[in-house]
Structure 1
């Protein structure tokens, strides 16, 4: 893929970058010591000016997108690696990894710049060896988003009829799918932005494993038991970043549920509910079916800590993060959840 031109980068600003949260765009501006502004229109104006001046390069944007695009607002499948496999020398041998990837027919994607990838279908765009032993596979799919632009509406006569036209701006955004292997943490995860309700979701996961299999088979990654995580998080009453808003626990032939009426509250913050749950001293025969958690993110730069809604699904062994986060914040969450399994 050829290096993007300044026009390409500015088109990226109008599409993918504009689609990111304001706090994340301000981070990019601040990182490059650029004027920030007070709203998204000014952020975009300053970014384009910096691109024209050569102060923001393609690599700057690519690095930033790897950190913020496609993290959160997705379903995640979390996996545990065996000790032996996590310690395998393959993960720190980039030359061997590249040979395996190339042999499988994916040599063009090795260390590829993915900022300009806008394929109409979900397409493998990059395979990256990171920090000496992390390996990341990335897929992208370009989509056109219509933004209403009422200031560009107009009305005119066409023959004897008065016709009113409503204007929309077409912006290019992307769906992102990733699979990342982190041997030091003995963890791996699949990040899928294709909606779980879509028939394409399961097909995307199957296609993902077909590619990841060029370095390790699916059997090398054991799904983290979300049923156990649901139950143990609910039982943990220590102060921490995870609080249970709602939980459903099951046993053969029955289920029980606890929940707060307000979506922004933990049910144990209601004294009567906390006492009712605490009165059940042992629930060894119950497992977790589903829970809604409030995850308090860590503060980063000007981004304040916030509660993010996370849904755990014990049956399908996956979680749904319902807000945009950064790469660091997502992996902090995954590491925490894995500690309960």
Structure 2
């Protein structure tokens, strides 16, 4: 739990501004762990979450643990990068001596500033996690609140707009047992990926990792191996400087394996002759161990994934583990 204790009004504000913006399925899961009813709409969820807080069914510890598993996972870009050359044991001292010491184990933040800002660092024996927030306000047309007004001979029309608060989360995740780290960037087009990498690099340097080059790890082999396994591959593109070969399934559910002529062509391609590869892969619960069906575009040369669904931390961990195993396979 964060080092700052939040009052019940602050916890309710956390619900209103952050938690209710998460996916409905995840909110239902959170409410199922209480004795209050669940509801069907965002308004129901907010009211029932407030009731659970009043009844001490939902504590700060539970809310922050849930957010750590849900917020900033999925519906994003993910880069695999080489880990810093530093002994994890010395990170605690580096963080404590840095300008970022105040966000170590900080409580869940309600603040989403216009510029990307580091809000949380978590360091355990198992890994290092850092979280940045960025927000952007906008306005969406909302006709149900339109109205007109007459004053004397004058007639006025008022067109309503509802404020939209776009909250974006950026993560740096490093499990010390892994040979890679991950930079996860929300799909918000307002976020400059180069600026994120620079911010992550500067932060790592500040906490004692001066060699943090954030070298991206290519995933070309992962796409090639996934294509050879067949199931879940919806499109592939194999490239070299002189040309490319591209194949895809247009079926809503089935991948290339469900379209026999395309599957036979794919099996005939010697992918080892190509330098670069990318593809759209679908990971399914029954086959890959994810909680739901998740589409992932893999850009091999960049070492980048585009994850097309909001999901949970465990889903991202599982997908990356599978792709990493593919990437190391012959």
Instruction: Tell me how far apart the structure 2 counterparts of residues 69 and 184 of structure 1 sit (CA, whole Å).
Output: 23
Q: Any conservation in 2 of the 1:61–1:115 contact (CA below 8 Å)?
A: no
Residue number in structure 2 paired with 1:44: 46
Among 202, 222, 235, which residue is 1:246 paired with? 235
Q: Any conservation in 2 of the 1:19–1:173 contact (CA below 8 Å)?
A: no
Instruction: Tell me how far apart the structure 2 counterparts of residues 11 and 155 of structure 1 sit (CA, whole Å).
Output: 33
Instruction: Tell me how far apart the structure 1 counterparts of residues 148 and 196 of structure 2 sit (CA, whole Å).
Output: 44
Cα distance change on mapping 1:188 and 1:247 into 2, 3 Å: same
Cα distance change on mapping 1:331 and 1:298 into 2, 3 Å: farther
Query: In the alignment, is residue 256 of structure 1 matched against residue 264 of structure 2?
Result: no
Cα distance change on mapping 1:159 and 1:229 into 2, 3 Å: farther
Residue number in structure 2 paired with 1:190: 183
Q: Any conservation in 1 of the 2:221–2:277 contact (CA below 8 Å)?
A: no
Superposed CA offset, 1:44-82 (max 9, x none) = 211011223333223322221111011011111113559
Q: CA deviation at 1:253?
A: 0.6
Query: In the alignment, is residue 103 of structure 1 matched against residue 97 of structure 2?
Result: yes
Cα distance change on mapping 1:109 and 1:13 into 2, 3 Å: same
> If the length of structure 2 is used for normalisation, what is the TM-score?
0.87
Among 176, 180, 203, which residue is 1:211 paired with? 203
Instruction: Tell me how far apart the structure 2 counterparts of residues 26 and 199 of structure 1 sit (CA, whole Å).
Output: 30
Report SS of the residue matched to 1:127.
strand
Q: Any conservation in 1 of the 2:75–2:187 contact (CA below 8 Å)?
A: no
Instruction: Tell me how far apart the structure 1 counterparts of residues 150 and 208 of structure 2 sit (CA, whole Å).
Output: 63
1:197-236 → structure 2 map (5 Å cutoff): 198=190, 200-213=192-205, 214-217=207-210, 223-236=216-229
Among 100, 124, 137, which residue is 2:130 paired with? 137
Residue number in structure 1 paired with 2:109: 115
Cα distance change on mapping 1:154 and 1:58 into 2, 3 Å: farther
Q: CA RMSD in A?
A: 2.7
Q: Any conservation in 2 of the 1:312–1:320 contact (CA below 8 Å)?
A: yes
Instruction: Tell me how far apart the structure 2 counterparts of residues 278 and 326 of structure 1 sit (CA, whole Å).
Output: 33
> If the length of structure 1 is used for normalisation, what is the TM-score?
0.84
Residue number in structure 1 paired with 2:17: 15
Query: In the alignment, is residue 340 of structure 1 matched against residue 318 of structure 2?
Result: no
Cα distance change on mapping 1:219 and 1:109 into 2, 3 Å: closer
Superposed CA offset, 1:308-333 (max 9, x none) = 22111123221110110100111110
Instruction: Tell me how far apart the structure 2 counterparts of residues 143 and 7 of structure 1 sit (CA, whole Å).
Output: 24
Among 167, 172, 175, which residue is 2:168 paired with? 175
Among 284, 290, 300, which residue is 2:272 paired with? 284
Among 149, 152, 159, which residue is 1:156 paired with? 149
Structure 2 unmatched ranges of 5 or more: none
